[in-house]
Amino acid sequence: MVDPRVVLAGIGAGLAMVVGLWWVDTPPLLHGMGDWLTNAGRITGLIAGYVIVVQLLLMARVPILERSIGADRLARWHAVGGRYTVNVVVAHALLITWGYAVAAHTDPVHQGVTLLRSYPDVLMATVGTLMLVGVGVASARAARQKLRYETWYAIHFYTYIAVALAFSHQFATGADFMHNLPARVLWGGMYATVAALLLWFRFLMPVRVYLRHRMRVDSVAPEGPGVVSVYIRGAHLDELGTLPGQFFRWRFLDRRGWWQSHPYSLSAPPRADLLRITVKSLGDHSSELSRLRPGTRVWAEGPYGAFTAHRSSRPNVLLIAGGIGITPIRALFETIRPRGHLRLIYRVMTHDDAVLLDELQTIAAHRRARLDLIAGDHREKPDAMSAARLTALVPKLRNYDVYLCGPPGFVVAVRRALLGAGVASAAIHTEEFAF
């Protein structure tokens, strides 16, 4: 496993090397505004080229990163990095154009047209930049709330086209690469390595899983209002090394669902021949799962995620679930082996929303664990998960590892309450159910 701080340090070291490349190739004295603007464009271009590669690496689904850092944390890093990436790419284009315009004693618009017409691959790079801006706009919080998940997911594939269009431009016109063979080799090797990881883990590995394990829908069972469990049977599933708490990206190959994939956590410990997911109807894809027919072929990518028992280091474990966030928590509740106490707090709007409750009660009785069901509208009971309430429910709360899963707002609020109750940040392990 890799410490997230080591990964961040590695990203920072790479960025420092990129800045160093710019520094070595920059004259000690810059003459006039044109030189200053052009060199600002150079460094923003180099940084943009580097952070794009980092963005792709974060979402390449490399197992060691997924299992060490967690898919939700990688997604947050990717979201933050995406905003900086778009800003740096746009800054590069504007600064270079402006700098060349000052040096040529012309206006930026005329200079921009000249660059598009006369410089190698600038037109392709411009198209790539516009695509990246479009992806960035679609990823903004306000836009994401209005877009269907399938639309948002499909738009992100334009990132690959944008990177391909911009790549040759870096070598064709980049002052730091045109006459520096070692820099070209290292830069090209960086892109080639990440491209290979993407190709293997996002495209070829799922093909291998599909052919090897031959997964199919075994049955679909209702669990409550708008909630179903899908049982998926396959061969040699133990070879996947799946751990309770992890998730797959599922694609059900029928007429309605073959073209879209969605992440769902396992809601029971994996077996050598059977996996189970439990899904609440929250969108078009999840609503269609209740209509799945036995025998439907299944395309699965994974397992992913670090929301697993290996993150626990304290003698006691507290599991907290909000709504359908119970699914990975239920798998952990059956399998995690703390040396001391095991507790589960399940927060729902109404008792009818408490899915898998019979299973949870059976597990609690078998393992002599404590199960607390807290029902009620959070607007009417805003203090139901406060620091004081959690401390009253769980004496010596500071001595627990806490696994927390649910909608983003729930996770943020409960995490804040846990910190207020004195639980160390490193002892709080989260998984958010959101795209």
167 sits in which H/E element:
helix 158-173
User: Quick one: pLDDT at residue 238?
Assistant: 95
Q: Are residues 175 and 233 in the same domain?
A: no
Q: Check whether residue 330 and residue 242 sit in a common domain.
A: no
Beta pairing class for 262-265 and 316-322: unpaired
Contact assessment for residue 306 and residue 66, using Cβ atoms and an 8 Å cutoff? yes
Look at residue 28 and tell me whether its pLDDT is greater than 80: no
Which of 151, 180, 208 corresponds to the end of one domain? 208
Domain boundary among 249, 284, 304: 304
Helix (H) or strand (E) holding 32: helix 32-58
pLDDT on residue 435: 44
Cβ count near 143 (within 10 Å): 13
Residues 13 and 145 in one domain: yes
Instruction: Look at residue 63 in the predicted model and tell me its pLDDT.
Output: 86
- What are the angstrom distances between the C-alpha of 355 and each of 226, 331, 347? 10, 13, 11
402 touches 318 (CB < 8 A): yes
Residue 265 confidence (pLDDT) above 90: yes
Q: What percent of the chain has pLDDT over 90?
A: 51
Specify whether 184 is located in the same domain as 254: no
Q: Is 332 helix (H, G, I), strand (E, B) or coil?
A: helix
Asked if the model's pLDDT at residue 50 lies above 50, the reply is yes
Segment 410-433 shows an average pLDDT of 92
Asked if the peptide bond before residue 407 counts as cis, ω within 30 degrees of 0, the response is no
Q: How far apart are CA 327 and CA 69, in angstroms?
A: 20
Read off the DSSP letter of residue 293.
P
Give me the helix-helix angle, 158-173 and 181-198, nearest 10°.
Answer: 170
CATH code of the domain covering residue 240: 2.40.30.10
Output the pLDDT for position 285: 60
Regarding whether 203 and 128 lie in a shared domain, the answer is: yes
**Beta bridge partner(s), residue 127:** none
| E strands in 174-241 | 216-224, 227-233
- DSSP assignment letter at 201: I
Task: Give the range of the structural domain holding residue 293, as residue numbers without chain letter.
Answer: 214-304
- Mean pLDDT of all residues in the chain? 88
The Cβ of residue 352 has, within 10 Å, a number of other Cβ atoms equal to 11
Distance of CA 131 to the CA centre of its chain: 21
Asked whether residue 320 falls in the same domain as residue 272, the answer is no
Listed residues 284, 304, 324: the one ending a domain? 304
In tens, the pLDDT along 272-312 reads: 999 999 998 766 566 778 889 999 999 999 899 889 998 88
Mean pLDDT within 404-416 = 92
Question: Which of these, 327, 335, 324, lies nearest to 410 by C-alpha position?
Answer: 324
This model's pTM is above 0.85: no
> In a 10 Å sphere around its CB, with 0-12 CB exposed, 13-18 middle and 19+ buried, how is residue 103 labelled?
middle
Same domain, 33 and 148: yes
